[in-house]
């Protein structure tokens, strides 16, 4: 059998730096665990625009459709702020999500014990936190039509349309229920059914899908109330499913409960391919952080943990994913800290590559 294939898209800003550490991790699994991958690399975002005049070349899009999984670093930066909206770096990422039909975005928020003091909330509120937000990713207000800025009379009007079909809601709901079955069998669906017709439909369809999962405890919550509850007592949740816009907001809120955006991975999954694997793109939640690019300050852990998610969800290597996650936890427990994790209690400062070195050493020790 051929090796599984990975397309790496480092992107802009700190993307190439954190992805370099992931490449070292991938090589380690090939050399030490018999998990060899066929790895190729290409451009996305601002660097693709610089090279091709587009944030995602058609050839790159075609390659992304063919591989078993895509790993992406980050896109964007102030250099591209004045570009036309249609060719901004972020449009490359949105095109990948849309054309690969990656409708289910998994965003875990896990608070490692060693970082419980880094959260803005009290330690007892976040210690042991382990929740999963499932965000619908290819529809809703980010893609709905009509959209744009139009002239009405003497003023401009900005329009974006929130639009969902029953089938779009049902398929992301089903992916969330399947995930809940593998976790704590508890799912909370969040929308704004009190003021939005799309929210009414969302609640109705999720309830209908829930009838096929009698073992899962299903609850519903308005998204604004959900944000409040995430900051009041986040451990009341296990899996949360929500739409594209609310998922974007709520997952970033949940990310900060853990202490740093530099810690959080994500997976975007689509329908199964011919080989049974879902189409998939894995990326850290953080942005391109151009203010620290090239300085060795970036935290590579979110990108490394995104590869761990790839091991688990694309390659059925849950045990090896757990090995990598345990290595990260060991390094943090030993007090190693990139700049974003340096708090008042100190720690041992390390660079981006220094964190990679430590995680590789922890993997060596795990054998």
**Could you give the CA distance from residue 113 to residue 153 in angstroms, rounded to a whole number?**
57
Strand pairing partners for 241?
134, 189
- Nearest of 276, 285, 283 to residue 316 by alpha carbon: 276
The token pair at 83 is: 């570009």
The token pair at 73 is: 């670093």
Q: What is the DSSP letter of 53?
A: S
Domains of the chain, CATH where assigned: 1-108+265-367 (3.40.718.10), 130-257 (3.40.718.10)
Planar angle of CA 257, 104, 180, nearest 5 degrees: 65
Count of beta carbons in the 10 Å neighbourhood of residue 3:
12
Environment class of 229 (CB within 10 Å of its CB; exposed 0-12, middle 13-18, buried 19+): middle
pLDDT of residue 184: 95
The catalytic residue positions are: 142, 192, 224, 248, 252
pLDDT of residue 127: 85
H or E element in which residue 114 lies: none
pLDDT of residue 345: 66
pLDDT of residue 347: 84
H or E element in which residue 147 lies: strand 144-152
The token pair at 162 is: 């929130």
**Could you give the CA distance from residue 342 to residue 122 in angstroms, rounded to a whole number?**
18
**Could you give the CA distance from residue 349 to residue 244 in angstroms, rounded to a whole number?**
37
Q: Are strands 69-74 and 186-191 parallel, antiparallel or unpaired?
A: unpaired
pLDDT of residue 83: 95
**Could you give the CA distance from residue 359 to residue 350 in angstroms, rounded to a whole number?**
12
| Per-residue pLDDT tens listing for the chain (367 residues) | 789 999 999 999 999 999 999 999 999 999 999 999 999 999 999 999 999 999 999 999 999 999 999 999 999 999 999 999 999 999 999 999 989 999 999 999 988 888 888 787 888 888 889 999 999 999 999 999 999 999 999 999 999 999 999 999 999 999 999 999 999 999 999 999 999 999 999 999 999 999 999 999 999 999 999 999 999 999 999 999 999 999 999 998 888 788 777 788 999 999 888 788 889 999 998 899 999 999 999 999 999 999 999 999 999 999 999 999 999 999 999 999 998 887 766 689 999 999 999 999 999 999 8
SS3 assignment for 178-205: HHHHHCCCEEEEEECCCCCHHHHHHHHH
The token pair at 192 is: 């704004």
pLDDT of residue 363: 98
Residue 271, classed as helix, strand or coil, is strand
């Amino acid at each position: 059998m051929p090796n599984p294939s990975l397309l790496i898209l480092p992107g802009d800003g700190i993307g190439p730096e954190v992805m370099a550490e992931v490449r070292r991790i991938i090589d380690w699994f090939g050399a030490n665990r018999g998990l060899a991958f066929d790895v190729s690399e290409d451009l996305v975002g601002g660097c693709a625009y610089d090279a091709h005049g587009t944030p995602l070349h058609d050839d790159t899009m075609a390659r992304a459709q063919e591989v078993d999984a895509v790993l992406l670093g980050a896109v964007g930066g102030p250099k591209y702020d004045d570009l036309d909206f249609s060719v901004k770096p972020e449009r490359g990422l949105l095109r990948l999500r849309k054309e690969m039909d990656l409708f289910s975005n998994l965003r875990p928020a896990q608070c490692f014990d060693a970082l419980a003091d880094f959260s803005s909330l009290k330690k007892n509120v976040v210690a042991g936190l382990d929740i999963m937000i499932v965000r619908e990713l290819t529809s809703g207000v980010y893609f709905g039509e009509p959209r744009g800025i139009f002239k009405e009379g003497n003023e401009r009007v900005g329009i974006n349309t929130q639009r969902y079909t029953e089938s779009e809601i049902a398929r992301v709901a089903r992916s969330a229920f399947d995930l809940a079955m593998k976790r704590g069998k508890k799912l909370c669906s969040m929308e704004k059914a009190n003021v939005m017709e799309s929210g009414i439909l969302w609640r109705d369809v999720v309830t209908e899908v829930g009838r096929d999962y009698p073992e899962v405890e299903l609850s519903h919550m308005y998204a604004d109330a959900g944000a409040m509850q995430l900051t009041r007592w986040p451990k009341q949740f296990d899996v949360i499913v929500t739409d594209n816009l609310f998922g974007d907001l709520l997952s970033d809120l949940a990310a900060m409960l853990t202490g740093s955006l530099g810690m959080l991975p994500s997976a975007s999954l689509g329908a199964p391919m011919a080989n049974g694997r879902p189409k998939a793109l894995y990326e850290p939640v953080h942005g391109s952080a151009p203010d620290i690019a090239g300085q060795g300050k970036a935290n590579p852990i979110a990108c490394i943990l995104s590869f761990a998610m790839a091991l688990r969800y694309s390659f059925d290597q849950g045990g090896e994913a757990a090995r990598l996650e345990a290595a990260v936890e060991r390094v943090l427990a030993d007090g190693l800290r990139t700049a974003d994790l340096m708090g008042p209690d100190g720690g041992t400062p390390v660079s981006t590559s220094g964190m990679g070195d430590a995680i590789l050493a922890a993997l060596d020790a795990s054998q």
